[in-house]
Amino acid sequence: MELNVRLFAIYRERAGQTITSVVVPDGATVDNLTDEVRRQFPNLAPPEVNIVVAVNADYAAPNVILHPGDDVCLIPPVSGG
């Protein structure tokens, strides 16, 4: 299945694009998707950084199963106060 993934802030800058197309197998999870994104963009985030994913406007756990047409966003860590 092919999903369009929106990238925000530093992820957008590092990937050089706002939206990327990611192909994952049917039944793929959020974790599978982030693995594929890291493969496509090795400099997106260091391995120790947990990439936060939102699916259909809700934060999604790594084991959430993705479906065709899902709205997927990668949200970088935010710091400050």
User: Nearest-CA neighbor of 75 among 10, 2, 15, 30?
Assistant: 10
The Cα 11–Cα 81 span in angstroms is 21
Q: Can you give the pLDDT at residue 78?
A: 74
Q: Which CATH architecture has domain 2-75?
A: Roll (3.10)
Residue percentage of the chain with pLDDT more than 90: 91
Q: What is the pTM of this model?
A: 0.92
The Cα 16–Cα 67 span in angstroms is 26
The pLDDT tens digits for 38-51 are 999 999 999 899 99
Which phi and psi angles does 37 have, rounded to 5°? Answer: -65, -40
| Model confidence at 25: pLDDT above 60 | yes
Burial 29-57 (b: 16+ CB within 10 A, else e): bbebbbebbbeebeebbeeeeebbbbbee
Instruction: Compute the average pLDDT of residues 30-57.
Output: 96
